Amino acid sequence: MTWELRVGAVQMRSTGDLMTNLTTCGALTAQAAAEGAQLVVLPENFAFLGRGEGDKLPIAENLDHRTGPVMTMLRDLATKHNVWMVGGGTPETVPGDTKRTYNTSITIDPRGNLVGRYRKIHLFDIDIPGGATLRESDGTAAGEDLVVIDIGGAPVGMSICYDVRFPELYRKLVKDLGAQVLLVPSAFTAHTGAAHWHLLLRARAIEDQAWVVAPAQWGKHNEKRESYGHSLIVDPWGTIVGEREEGDGVVMATLDSATVDKRRAQMPCLRHAVLWK
């Protein structure tokens, strides 16, 4: 199936103020829609980025209820602008667990329907050299399921931030589930981003011969957190076709199946690949 998809990757600097963050999402979505976006992808932590893992618990939503401020915003933006919305990572309640949430990427279609959710599988528990100690698992439950969603005819594979360091996830999204676009909404730390962000995203695009869309958080959120920025869109050859280093804004690009097909025909790596058990 052939497809073409105009995508806007949003870059923003979230804080602990939910309503201010949602207002920013609305303004940047409107900007992307004005530039022809059919799909708008928000970064990880678009709704909230606090000082500690426990800070997000009060704003976590049961996504099935559809009436919380985050879900309401996503649905309203999708229908207002006639776009697909991907909220790239927001706290979702865990049934029976009052101390943890899922970190969930939400996909809303242009009619305002929840059509898919991906719960972050790999949790960021790390002591950053020369930086902070972060324990995402202190307040987050890991997901289990791989997710590919048909968005305007494009098979789109879902992931979040730290997932990008695990190439086997993306290979399964592509080889087993047919993804041709890979989303990596992120809040990469300034330290690790400077070292690895571009390398990892370009590597995932090259080895899986897929488009990669990576909206990002940028700048200093509070005294404990600073994000790298550099929202990127990368083509299946590993070429960066759009980037925003810092500041709020939107990275735009038109993705298509023809480019995927061309690169996979020229370099048939996926046909040669062996999935080891």
- For the stretch 144-160, pLDDT in tens is 999 999 999 999 999 99
Calculate what percentage of the chain has a pLDDT beyond 90.
86
Q: Of the residues 25, 92, 136, 161, which is catalytic?
A: 161
The reported pLDDT for the residue numbered 90 is 97
Which residues does 249 contact at the CB level (< 8 Å), separation at least 6?
Answer: 10, 11, 28, 31, 231
Calculate what percentage of the chain has a pLDDT beyond 70.
97
The reported pLDDT for the residue numbered 245 is 98
Residue with the larger pLDDT of the pair 127 and 168: 168
Please confirm, yes or no, whether 120 is among the known catalytic residues: yes
The reported pLDDT for the residue numbered 276 is 66
Of 39, 91, 18, give the one whose Cα is nearest residue 233.
39
Domains of the chain in sequence order: 4-271 (3.60.110.10)
Task: State the DSSP string of 50-102.
Answer: -SSGGGGGGG-B-GGG--SHHHHHHHHHHHHHT-EEEEEEEEEEETTEEEEEE
Q: Is there a contact between 251 and 232 (Cβ–Cβ < 8 Å)?
A: yes
Which two three-digit tokens encode residue 214?
A: 């990576």
The pLDDT tens digits of the residues spanning 94-115 come to 999 999 999 999 999 999 999 9
Residue 206 sits at φ, ψ, to 5 deg, of: -70, -50
The reported pLDDT for the residue numbered 63 is 94
Q: Of the residues 25, 56, 92, 120, which is catalytic?
A: 120
pLDDT of 205 strictly over 80:
yes
pLDDT of 170 strictly over 80:
yes
CA quadruple 151, 202, 193, 249: dihedral, nearest 10:
-50
Read off the pLDDT of each residue in 230-239 and give the average, rounded to a whole number: 98
Of 112, 99, 111, 89, give the one whose Cα is nearest residue 53.
99
Q: Of the residues 25, 44, 53, 56, which is catalytic?
A: 44
Where does 8-63 have alpha helices with state H? 18-34
The pTM (predicted TM-score) of the whole model is 0.96
* pLDDT band with cut points at 50, 70 and 90 for residue 129: low
Please confirm, yes or no, whether 161 is among the known catalytic residues: yes
Secondary structure class of 256 (helix, strand, coil)? strand
Q: How many angstroms separate the CA atoms of 4 and 261, rounded?
A: 12
The pLDDT tens digits of the residues spanning 9-60 come to 999 999 999 999 999 999 999 999 999 999 999 999 999 998 877 788 999 9
Q: Is there a contact between 95 and 111 (Cβ–Cβ < 8 Å)?
A: no
The pLDDT tens digits of the residues spanning 248-274 come to 999 999 999 999 999 999 999 998 887
Please confirm, yes or no, whether 25 is among the known catalytic residues: no
Largest CA distance in the chain: 51
Which two three-digit tokens encode residue 103?
A: 């970190």
> Any bridge partners for residue 272, and if so which?
none
Of 73, 122, 119, give the one whose Cα is nearest residue 97.
119
Which two three-digit tokens encode residue 13?
A: 């600097």
The reported pLDDT for the residue numbered 187 is 96
Q: Is there a contact between 3 and 257 (Cβ–Cβ < 8 Å)?
A: yes
